[in-house]
Amino acid sequence: MSKQGYLYAALGAMGWGTTFIATKIVITAVTPGVFLLARYAIATLVLLAFYRGRPRQKVARKDWPMIILIGVLGYFFAIWCQHAATAAMDASLVSLLFAATPVSVLLLAMPVLGEKPTAKKLLAIVFTVAGALLVIGKAGGGSTAAGLALAVGAILSWSLTSVLIRKTCGHMDVVWLTIYTQIIAAVCCLPMLVRQLLLGQEALGLGPVGWSHIAAFLWAGIVSTAMANLFWNRALDLLDANTVSLFYAFMPLTTSVLGVLILGESLSLNFLAGGVVIFIGMVLAAGDMKSENKTEGIKK
């Protein structure tokens, strides 16, 4: 069973890694917000079909404000920032920075959840920050100030969302929580779709939508979102969360390989060295995390 868990964890992280490649393809024809809307619409339909026999949890009125906050802050703002950052920088660079999310969650869990800092936690944070600075410092043409700001905003807002879920939504069915928050995020994206339709492709510097864009839409919705979440949470059913979190490393690895093969991106020595340092930080963070279910994605 553990071997199956390793496979599911790797497939889940690899699926997430392909999101950054799909983003680079579709942003030539749509804005990041429209891509996010299409991604969530497709993924929600897939999840509803997959879980069609699962009873829908009745949500208490007091839980709706937090569900809305998670949908707006995490599933809309954080992921929109991720797509916008990917539009402004190399996909491999954004993906590598996002691999530090487990450590960012550790950092935010201290003030929000009152978790006490430990030597391993602090060391994990130091290694991860150092690795990120090493990567960013020599990113060159693969990055922009705006892109880096968007990436940092996405990482921090998604990490805060994860901590809020752990604090307030532990009693909720994570399947329906994910579906509800994706729908809320999709609604937030509607003004961006209206804007693109009113202004037109040419005014926004966009080209026509072709078959490659449609394929990327479907891939992002079905594989990168719905299937990746299903695989990741199947892994959590078979392995402890500490072990599963180590497979985050497959996300930037997948993006980097596909970035070179499909997008023609290049990987510098600083990128590779920084990636190793970030991975060490991830290992330290995983070793100090309590064995509890991760809140990213859907738990079956």
Q: How far apart are CA 79 and CA 262, in angstroms?
A: 23
Cβ burial, residue 201 (10 Å; 0-12/13-18/19+): middle
**Quick one: angle between helices 2-26 and 91-98, nearest 10?**
140
pLDDT for res 289: 55
Residue whose C-alpha is closest to residue 138's, from 268, 277, 278: 268
What is the pLDDT tens value at each position of the chain, 300 positions in all? 567 888 888 898 899 999 999 999 999 999 999 999 999 999 999 999 988 888 887 888 888 999 999 999 999 999 999 999 999 888 888 887 887 777 777 778 778 777 776 777 778 777 777 777 676 655 455 567 888 899 999 989 988 888 887 777 667 777 888 899 999 999 999 999 999 999 988 888 888 889 999 999 999 999 998 898 888 877 877 776 666 777 777 888 888 888 888 988 877 777 778 778 877 877 776 666 543 444 445 444
Please name the helix (run of DSSP H) or strand (run of DSSP E) that holds residue 284, with its range, or none.
helix 269-288
- Whole-angstrom distance, CA of residue 236 vs CA of residue 229: 11
Q: What pLDDT score does 300 carry?
A: 41
What residue has token string 């999101």?
Answer: 19
CA distances from 188 to 191, 193, 196, 262 (A): 7, 10, 14, 31
Amino acid identity at 186: A
**Amino acid 286: pLDDT:** 63
Q: Alpha-carbon distance 52 to 120, whole Å?
A: 42
User: Residue 44: what residue type?
Assistant: T
Report residue 278 CA to chain centroid gap: 17
